[in-house]
Amino acid sequence: MNRQQMKVDVGAKLLQLRKEQGKSLRELSKLSGISANAISLIERDKISPTIATLTKLIIALNTNLTFLFDEKESKDIIYISNNGRSYIELESKNSRVKLESLGTGLPNQDMEPLIAIFEKGASSGNKIITHKGNELVYCLEGEMEFEIDGETYLLQPGDSLFFNGSRPHKWRNASRKQTKVLAVMKTKHWLEKESADEL
């Protein structure tokens, strides 16, 4: 079925899950390391979370990125047209990222396939990232720079990077325009809380 892109209301999804789990703002704040005030603003769509903040919240809620895009029905085959992907937008002062889902709803799904679109100037900042599991990144357009264990990798269209997420890393859009990548991660790793900081 051909359908238009649909923006996911991240705040409403997080609020719904927090309420279902019976967690207070203060409890979620303690579990995630994000202030209760910031969580409240995110839930009310007053501010947009960064990738780092969103990941800390979904781990504290014992879920994963696919929860945000979940289809109501479980299927064995998922087809999504080019303009029919659900997406979320994450913004901070120096970083704007759009994540488009390539499919959720498979029984026992254990992968998170995404198209990530990084606007000019987008970066993970100076903070070093570590997380459980492996990460695959394939550059579709633009230029993406990753620094892993102090070594720099510049991805141009057609280049790929497959690495252990526990290695200290950070990223930035190295292009003067939008950069788009295919990213695939294992869902289960987001539930392993040890040293999971962000995407």
- CATH number, domain at 77? 2.60.120.10
DSSP reduced 3-state for 68: helix
The model's pTM: 0.76
In a domain, 153, yes or no: yes
One-letter amino acid of 54: L
In a domain, 197, yes or no: no
Length of the chain: 199
pLDDT of res. 35: 95
As a whole number of angstroms, the distance between CA 130 and CA 162 comes to 14
Torsion angle (degrees, nearest 10) of CA 69, 70, 71, 72 = -140
Range of the domain at 81: 6-191
Domain-located, residue 198: no
Structure tokens at 146: 């990753």
Instruction: Assess contact for 163 and 169: CB atoms under 8 A.
Output: yes
Q: Per the structure block, which two tokens stand in for 93?
A: 């002062």
How many domains does the chain divide into? 1
Q: pLDDT per residue over 122-158, tens digit each? A: 998 777 877 777 889 999 999 999 999 999 999 999 9
Residue 163 placed within a domain: yes
Single out the residue of 124, 144, 128 nearest to residue 136, CA to CA.
Answer: 144
Report the alpha-carbon distance of residue 148 to residue 100 in Å, rounded.
25
Residue-level pLDDT at 93: 66
pLDDT tens, 30-61?
Answer: 999 999 999 999 999 888 888 778 878 988 89
β-strands 86-92, 6-7: how paired? parallel
